[in-house]
Every structure is written in C-alpha cells, then in structure tokens.
Structure 1
Amino acid sequence: MELKTFEKGDVIIEKGSYGTSAYVIKSGKVEVVDITNNKVVLAILGEGQIFGEMGLVDDQPRSATVTALEDVQLAVLNRDNFNQLFEKDPKVLLPIIKALFERLRTINSMLVSKEGSDTVKAGVNKRVHGSEFITLSGLNVISSDVLDNREMKINKFPFKVGRKHELDEVDVLSDNDLYLQDLPPFNVSRNHFLIDKVEGRYVVVDRGSRLGTIVNGKRIDVQSVLDMGENEIIVGQKVSPFVFKIEIRC
C-alpha cells in the first residue's frame, strides 16, 4: 500500500467529495467531523485505526470531513489493492471488513431511530420528485451495440458503469449497472464512472478510473455537473471506442 504523510491541519477527506480509497493510520491522530451545520466531532482516531472505508465499496459522497490533528502517516488502500489482497492474503483485510460492519451497524441504528421521521421522508421525496428524466444512448456503433441499439432511460441512482469481467478475473468489489466489454489495452476500468442526482442536479463522477472520464470535451477531476439537454461522455482516453450521449429532458 502507498504511504502518504499529512501535516497538522491538513484536510485529508472533505465531506461531499468522492473517493475510492480507505486509510490506515500508521502514526499520528485525525479528527472526523460533520460540518453540515455546526461542527460536530464524530471521532478522534489514532494509530492502527481506519477511516474512509466506505469508499472501497460504494460510490456515494464522503459523509464526513477528516483533518490531521498532528503530523500523520497513512497507508492508502484503493480498490485494486483490496482485490489483490483478497486473492493473496485475505486475513490482512479483516480489520477493514470489521470497520465496514461497524459502520453498517451504526447506520442501521440511525435508520431505526429515525424511521418515520419527517427528515427521512423529506429526503426520499427530494430524490423521486421532479419532471426531468435522463437517458443514455451510444454515439457510435460499439457504444450503441452495448445498449442493444436503443436509448436507455435511467431510473436508478447512482447508475454505475464499468468493465465487464474476463472469465478468469476475480473482482470482489465490482458493482455496476452497465458493463462494457473492453479489450486490452483497456480504456474502461472495473468501476469507471457513475451518474447520480445530487441536490437536484445530475452529475457524472469518475470512480478513480485509470484513464479518466471526459464530459463535454473536458477530462473531469472527480465530478462534473451535467447540462440540461445533451451531454457527451467518453469512457477513458479521447480515442476510446466508448462514447455516449447523456440527455436530460423535461
């Protein structure tokens, strides 16, 4: 795993950003806070503890901000590392799996306590109401073939796109709604990009792909807000055969 160092006061993870890595603290301490309204300290973590683990398994925005309380050294575990360790030495992943289950247990408790509340109902309504809808279609023969030469209406968010597995390939974290059959050298990563609706806007998020995602002619750093009407997305580098049109209609 790659080692990274951060100085006291550095923001390691920012709430609302996207990422696909987890961090194991080798030395130092970090503060996990929720800054939605007033600053609320969720945890102080130290040597041997893990944060950011949900980024390994889902593609949702980060739920909290993590800041270095002192100089820290972190081991960075990304999805590719996770897959390799799963195949070669699964026991190394036990602390991370434990952290994931602890996080899920906490979330489950929160959901039970808020069941039926106005806050939850309002959040659900916000995601399903609205007159606009979004479609995906191919802009060349290869991309059209992926969609059986038809236009796909996207009803589920986030909508995830990635590379189809080879027969002998093991990928414990692949999670996609649309799989693209690519050939070496690959343009498409296993978990490449997603389309989501965030605060009433449609966005494309690169999921840490190797060659990136191009939206309307520009390679995106992490995410890009889609325009009303037609948008072009290239999966991988500019010469990639996978070119799609994403259209937002009212």
Structure 2
Amino acid sequence: MEKIFQTGEVIIEENSFGQSAFVIKSGKVEVSKKNKKGEKVILAVLGERQIFGEMGLIEDKPRSATVAALEEVHAEEINRDLFNELLKKEPSAIFPVLKLLFERLRCVDEMLIEENRVAHETLASAVIKKVILVGASGEASKALKNKQLEITKFPFRIGRESHSEEGDALLNNDLYLKDHIPYNVSRNHFSINRLSNLIYIFDRGSTLGTIVNGIRIGGPIKKNDLILEKEENLVIVGSLDSPFQFKLLIR
C-alpha cells in the first residue's frame, strides 16, 4: 500500500510499537534517536529504494529510532501479514527486505561475539563436551517427549508453535512449544548458542523475555544475552510462572 508523508511528518516514533516497514519510492527521510541527555542524534538520511522500519516485521518490541520526512515522501508500506504472505508465495519480491534484515542481524551477532571474546577469555579455556536440555516442568518435559535432548546444532532456536492453518513463514525454530493465550512464549523466543567453548542464551526479541538463572534478559530489558557459567542452568521461557521451564546442563 502506497502512503504519502508531508515534510516534517513523523512516520515512525522512537519507543512506539509497529509491525510495518517502508520502502521509499521518492523523497528523503531522516532517522534519529535521543541520547541519554534527551538530545536528538541523526543516525542516517535515507532516499529512494531504501528501507526503514524493517525490524517491526520480525519482533514485537518498541521502535529503536524516529523516522521523519525531510520532504514529501512516497513510500510502499509492508505490514507483517503482507510480508508473511509474500514470503510464502512470492519470496523474490521481498529479497531486498530480507537482505537488509540479515545484514542487521549479522552486525548484531558480530558485536556480540566480540564482546563475549573480550569479556570471557578465561571462561573459554574450559572444554565443553555436552549440552543437554531437560524439562524442569510438566509442559517442558512434554515438549521434549519426556526425554533429554543433547544439543549438537548451534544456534538451537526455541519458540511458540503457530496456530495458523497455513503455518507461519517467519517461524524458524528447532523446538516448538505449544503455548496458549495468554502467551508466555513468543513465536521466535530464544536460542542456545555456542561460541568456542562458551554457551550463552540469546533472547530473540520476545515479548516477555527469558529468565536465566534468575536473571531476566530480553522483553522489557535491553540486555538480550547471558553467558552460562554453571554446569546446571534454569531457563524460564516468559514470565516467572511460565509453565515452560527447562534445565540446561553443560558437561
């Protein structure tokens, strides 16, 4: 759907919620963010054929920046439902959006890897032989079919099973949890990752976050990763009273 924005009009406001991305057909927009002092910092100026707001297509979190029109802007709006439909029926139409998403996610991964390398060099000397996922609650055990699951593929992604009859093309999980309204588990909730001999939990933009050994990451918390330093770790998916609680054993 094409939309027209006038000069000075705010298209996306920082900390607001939205599920749409925009492809600029003509005109220019300014991307800005408030610093800790509340001052405006300009991050970028985007023009024809460039994309903004793309993270709204895959995560339910507040917008990270404000986007305003510098002149009259004509833009094609892509909401999450349309994105999901195109992904299943005409993926070539959204390759530019996917490329940008992958680039952004790769940058995040690279920054996370570097931070982990610098901050945890001493931990990396330990040799990890096995990573085992075990149910610590009834629903978690049911999801694992009452078995221990040795994780050999990293990242190992966990999220909510879709109730849609056609499925959801945006889901990308190795373990699906059958949650019910009100949901504790987001569609793409968290992952178990390995970096050299470090194992860490990464919250993938979930709504309620993930509680790891009593520490919440993701959701309303800006920090979204936590390195596991214990042999036995408790991972709660969502709120503190979530029925999905797992033990992650590192041997």
TM-score (structure 2 length as normaliser): 0.58
**Deviation string for 1:187-244 (max 9, x for gaps)?**
1111111011135311111111111111111211311111230110111111110000
Alpha-carbon distance change, 54 to 199 in structure 1, aligned in 2, over 3 angstroms: farther
RMSD value, Cα:
4.1
Instruction: State the Cα distance separating 1:173 from its structure 2 match.
Output: 0.8
Letter in 2 for 1:97: F
Amino acid at match of 2:130: F
Residue 174 of structure 2 is aligned to residue 177 of structure 1: yes
Q: Which amino acid aligns with 1:185?
A: P
Asked whether 1:98 is paired with 2:99, we answer: no
The 5 Å alignment of 1:238-249 reads 238-249=240-251
**Partners of 1:102 and 1:215 in 2: how far apart?**
30
> Separation in 2 of the partners of 1:200 and 1:51?
37
Q: Does 1:3 find its partner at 2:12?
A: yes
Partners of 1:145 and 1:103 lie apart in 2 by 34
- Quick one: structure 1 residues 226 and 169, their matched pair in 2 at CA, closer, same or farther if it must change by over 3 Å? farther
Structure 2: which amino acid aligns with 1:151? Q
TM-aligned CA distance change 1:132 to 1:99, over 3 Å: same
The answer to whether the 8 Å contact 2:193/2:199 transfers is yes
Q: Normalising by the residue count of structure 1, what TM-score does the alignment of the two structures yield?
A: 0.58
Question: Would you say the 8 A contact 2:84–2:169 is kept in 1?
Answer: no
Instruction: Please state how far the C-alpha of 1:148 moved relative to its aligned partner.
Output: 1.3
Structure 2 residue corresponding to 1:165, chosen from 154, 162, 166 = 162
Q: Deviations over 1:73-131 (max 9, x none)?
A: 49xxxxxx85323367889x977522435898xxxxxxxxxxxxxxxxxxxxxxxxx54
The verdict on how the C-alpha distance between 1:23 and 1:211 changes in structure 2, with shifts beyond 3 A counting, is farther
Report if aligned partners of 1:50, 1:96 keep a CA contact under 8 Å in 2. Answer: no
- 2:82 is matched with which residue? 85
* Distance change >3 Å, CA 189–CA 24, structure 1 → 2: same
Question: Which residue pairs with 2:29 in the alignment?
Answer: 27
Counterpart of 1:143 in 2: which secondary structure?
helix
Aligned residue type for 2:182: P
Asked whether the 8 Å contact 1:5–1:73 carries over to 2, the reply is: no
Q: Distance in 2 between matches of 1:198 and 1:132?
A: 13
Superposed displacement of residue 22, structure 1: 7.3
Contact 2:29-2:45 within 8 A present in 1 as well: no
Could you tell me which of 197, 214, 219 is aligned with 1:217? 214
Following the alignment from structure 2 to structure 1, what is the Cα–Cα distance between the partners of residues 206 and 11?
17
% identical equivalent positions: 43
Task: Give, as a single letter, the amino acid of the residue that structure 1 aligns with 2:81.
Answer: Q
1:138 matched to 2:131: no
Change (3 A) 1:202 1:5: same
Describe the SS at the equivalent of 1:28: strand
Structure 1 equivalent of residue 41 of structure 2: none
For 2:215 and 2:100, locate their aligned partners in 1 and report how far apart those are by CA, in whole Å. Answer: 39
1:202 paired to 2:199: yes
Q: Which amino acid aligns with 1:210?
A: T
Aligned residue-pair number: 181
